[in-house]
Amino acid sequence: MDLPFKKFTFKTINMKNTISTIVLLLTIGMFVTSCTVTKKITITESKPYTPVSKELFDTIVKMDGIVFEAANKGDLEKLKTLFAEDLEFFHDTGGLDNYTKTMENFQRIFTNYGYTRRVLVEGSIEVYPIKDYGAIQTGLHKFCRLENGELINCGTYKFTHIWKNTSTGWKITRVISYGH
């Protein structure tokens, strides 16, 4: 029986054509990999923050003050009214906690570390509206020990709060605490 093609043997390989083909493929491969697309990126200085809504900014700054006045006084009952019951609290080193666990953590801090104080870094707060929901608040704050009337051992950290404007007032629904 005759086959319509030649039987393959190493004798049928034309080494000259094979080497030419390999060289051509390597050349094309090197050309393709060397032709990378570069995009020029221009970094410009960011503009100073200006609130979208002065009224919203003032409201959230006021609410921030109420939350941390309660925290600095160890007023757990007041704090419970300022956080939503579906709270998600994300901490870069502590993980994710819900409302119940967050309130337990506040109580533990008040019991064991009552001398801790939160101090807002002046000028660091930015507030952005969330349509039909509330606001995003970002900023920097320091947590310090209060010893003999002086704040010591301060650490500065970043935070993001998501505020919801509810029928019973503003409540924090999400906290992201990071940079620890």
Instruction: Yes or no: say if 146 and 156 are a contact pair by the CB < 8 Å rule.
Output: no
Q: Please report the pLDDT score of residue 46 as a whole number.
A: 78
Structure tokens at 163: 């505020």
What is the domain partition of the chain in residue ranges? Answer: 54-178
Q: Please report the pLDDT score of residue 79 as a whole number.
A: 97
pTM assigned to the model: 0.72
Architecture of domain 54-178: Roll (3.10)
Instruction: Yes or no: say if 84 and 171 are a contact pair by the CB < 8 Å rule.
Output: yes
Running along the chain, 180 residues long, what does each successive block of 10 average in pLDDT?
Answer: 55 58 59 56 79 98 97 95 98 97 94 82 97 98 85 92 98 97
Q: Please report the pLDDT score of residue 146 as a whole number.
A: 78
Q: Which residues contact 105 (CB under 8 A, 6 or more apart)?
A: 97
